Amino acid sequence: MQRIGFRLKLKADMLDKYVLLHQNVWPEMLEALTKTGWHNYSLFIDRSDASLIGYFETPDLQKALNGMAKLEVNDRWQAFMASYFVALEGQRPDEGFLQLENIFYLE
- Interacting residues with a second copy (CB under 8 A): 3, 5, 7, 18-19, 22-23, 25, 30, 33-34, 38-48, 51, 53, 55-56, 98, 100-107
**Bridge-partner residues for 51, per DSSP?**
9, 46
State the nearest-atom distance from the C-beta of 66 to a second copy, in Å. 19
User: Among 39, 26, 35, 42, which Cα is nearest to 77's?
Assistant: 26
Q: Is 104 exposed, middle or buried (0-12, 13-18, 19+ CB in 10 A)?
A: exposed
- The rounded distance, in Å, linking the Cα atoms of 92 and 30 is 18
